């Protein structure tokens, strides 16, 4: 029995969460869910986008499933607060091709590992007399930790190569440290090939020859940009899951936002949320059930017509979820 915190959020968040719970309920894993709130709706009710109760519960759970929230200008971001409070230092974004999906590449299986706690998203910005500055914090400890995490991910998933993406020729001190820690960690993994690319070249190669990548490890801002680029290579936001992992906690969320333009219509694609749940099952060590669910999803994407409009079908979110559930064997 796993204790799961569920944060449906706003917009399409609740419907993709309901869809994911509907399919994982049919698996042979027992979850004890507690639903708590965050985001815009929560702000309107309680005056905060992320109540202490939500943070505390997520800390005590085996894992958290997070739908999507609408940003409330001038308030603190619920997802960034959760990443900080739960010390979720690694953001994992798979870039994987799925059969039956209209995408630029049909053969990709890349894992992007993004440092989640520092870099240019440290939140230190200030106005100066000429404009403004932002501080890019890179520490040896966080760089070592994320690089070790990336190599361990590679090792545990049978991957053979890790590429550090940085810009150490221009950012000599900050990315110099990141690069040095990468190669120090690499020495402990002689069976895994280590490589490096400047971020501009990496952005080009991702479009031109993405097969050269297996695992990418990079700092916060570069990872944010490259992982959205990656999602674009394999079918877009409806199919992009993510995991935020720390030493004690983990949170799983689709990459897409709350999509206010389609919220309430019941037509959002539940795949990214279901793929996030699959990452959660793997994290919990339930790899057999994870594979079972992935097979059912792939079966529907590849052979079924019960698909949401963004995938070319006319099904509702829950109809597609039901179809996936019916294919679980
Ligand atoms: P945010 O700033 O929270 O990321 P956004 O509006 O920039 O929000 P999304 O909410 O991810 O980005 O939406 C971008 C576009 O993709 C919208 O047109 C939306 O309808 C579409 N979209 C996002 N997620 C899905 C989904 N699961 N199914 C179908 N369409 C989606």
pLDDT over 90 at 123, yes or no = no
Contact 190, 242 (CB under 8 A): no
Sign of the C-alpha dihedral, residues 284, 78, 148, 193? Answer: positive
End-to-end CA distance of the chain: 21
Known catalytic residue: 167? yes
Known catalytic residue: 247? no
pLDDT in tens, 249-282: 999 999 999 999 999 999 999 999 999 999 999 9
Contact 89, 244 (CB under 8 A): no
- Ligand 1: nearest atom to the Cα of 262: 20
- Ligand 1: nearest atom to the Cα of 273: 27
The residue whose C-alpha atom lies closest to atom 25 belonging to ligand 1 is 238
Quick check: CB of 39 below 6 Å from ligand 1?
Answer: no
The residue whose C-alpha atom lies closest to atom 20 belonging to ligand 1 is 259
pLDDT in tens, 184-193: 999 999 999 9
Known catalytic residue: 62? no
Per the prediction, the chain carries an average pLDDT of 95
Distance between CA atoms of residues 40 and 63, nearest Å: 22
């Amino acid at each position: 029995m796993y204790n799961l915190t569920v944060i449906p959020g706003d917009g399409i968040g609740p419907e993709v969460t309901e869809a994911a719970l509907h399919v994982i309920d049919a698996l042979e894993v027992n979850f004890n869910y507690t639903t708590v709130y965050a985001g815009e709706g929560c702000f309107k009710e309680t005056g905060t986008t992320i109540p202490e109760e939500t943070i505390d519960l997520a800390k005590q759970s085996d894992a958290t499933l997070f739908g999507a929230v609408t940003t409330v200008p001038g308030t603190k971001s619920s997802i960034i607060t959760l990443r900080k409070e739960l010390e979720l230092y690694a953001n994992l974004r798979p870039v994987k091709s799925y059969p039956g999906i209209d995408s630029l590449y049909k053969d990709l299986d890349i894992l992007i590992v993004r440092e989640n706690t520092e870099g240019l998203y440290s939140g230190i910005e200030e106005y100066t007399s000429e404009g403004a500055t932002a501080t890019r914090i890179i520490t040896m400890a966080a760089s070592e930790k994320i690089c070790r995490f990336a190599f361990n991910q590679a090792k545990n998933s049978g991957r053979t190569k890790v590429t550090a993406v940085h810009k150490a020729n221009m950012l000599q001190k900050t990315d110099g440290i990141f690069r040095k820690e990468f190669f120090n960690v690499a020495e402990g993994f002689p069976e895994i090939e280590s490589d490096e690319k400047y971020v501009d070249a990496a952005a080009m190669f991702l479009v031109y020859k993405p097969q050269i990548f297996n695992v990418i490890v990079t700092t916060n801002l570069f990872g944010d940009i490259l992982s959205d680029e990656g999602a674009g290579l394999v079918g877009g936001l409806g199919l992009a899951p993510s995991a935020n992992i720390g030493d004690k906690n983990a949170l799983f969320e689709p990459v897409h936002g709350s999509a206010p333009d389609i919220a309430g219509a019941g037509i959002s694609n539940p795949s990214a949320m279901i793929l996030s749940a699959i990452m959660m099952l793997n994290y919990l060590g339930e790899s057999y059930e994870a594979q079972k669910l992935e097979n059912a999803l792939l079966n529907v994407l590849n052979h079924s017509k019960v698909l949401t409009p963004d995938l070319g079908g006319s099904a509702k979110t829950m109809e597609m979820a039901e179809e996936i559930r019916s294919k679980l064997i």
